[in-house]
Amino acid sequence: MSSRLPRPGRCVVMGVLNVTPDSFSDGGRYLHLDEALAHAATMAEEGADLIDVGGESTRPGAERVAAEVERDRVVPVIKELAADGLVLSVDTTRAAVAAAALEAGAAVINDVSGGLADPEMVHVAADSKAPIVLMHWRGHSRDMDRLATYDDVVTDVRNELSRRVDAALAAGVAPEQIVLDPGLGFAKRAEHNWALLHRLAEIRELGFPVLIGASRKRFLGSLLADGDSPRQPSGREDATTAISALAAVNGAWGVRVHSVRPSLDAVRVADAWVRGEP
């Protein structure tokens, strides 16, 4: 595995840093540079293995921003954090933004479109030799809910991810650069998300590290609903922590979370459980 992809001997904890005004859980909180840097420092102090910097919201229904806006949001943050020695990924579907972020000091590309939104993305990964997360995706945020139709969600997601792997390999991306993400919540209804988690082993059988991004997502809010009202994102952290532990026990390479310390505790406990020793 690339030396730039964290491998701490347990499930990796990737901290989310949204420098956006409209992300579903923390939109607007870290849009300004000093706020973003302070939050990243907190996540690093809490033990994040990797900090994922994103400048465009991918919440359901979100509208796209211009590439220049996205780039100008993420590059200054990445440059400052990389100078402090933090390990960073860039959450983007645009090859030009990924290239600029890598030049600024990011180590990993996290592409929620799996290379579908911008065919040049896999070439950026191939040329830079940066690890790339290929997520299962069927369309941009404004369209994705209507695309949640499957014969068998796990089989379909597995097959579609396999095609994204083939495209990356054909572009020259090395197998050891690839991480897969089943894309919980992206063109998925709640039952699809739970099926993917329940049958995570079938995604792992593709032979690549797997990243799970369930943090505070709406399917958790639906599960924890108080009557007819879904639990709000701020009340979904315990459920997120539970998923981090279960993902780790079931062999996930990493979890992507908004709150680092609870999930780091969870994956450390899971690691000790699986090993039978601390």
Distance from C-alpha of 147 to C-alpha of 192, rounded to nearest angstrom: 12
Which of 80, 78, 72 has the alpha carbon at shortest distance from 96?
72
Per DSSP, what are the bridge partners of residue 12?
A: 254
Is 217 an active-site residue? Answer: yes
Dist. CA 65–CA 97, nearest whole Å? 12
Which residue in the list 256, 261, 268, 275 is annotated as catalytic? Answer: 256
Residue pair 68/100 in contact by the 8 Å Cβ criterion: no
Which residue matches tokens 């595995």?
1
Whole-angstrom Cα distance, residue 31 to residue 56? 11
Residue 256 bears catalytic tag: yes
Q: What are the structure tokens assigned to 40, written together?
A: 């990243």
Using CA atoms, how far apart are residues 194 and 171, in angstroms rounded to an integer?
A: 33
Provide φ and ψ at 208, rounded to 5°.
-120, 155
Q: In this structure, what token pair is assigned to residue 127?
A: 């040329």
- Give every CB contact of residue 224 below 8 A, 6+ residues apart in sequence: 230, 231, 235, 236, 239
Tokens of 100: 């600029």
Residue among 199, 217, 218, 236 flagged as catalytic: 217
Give the catalytic positions in this structure: 217, 256
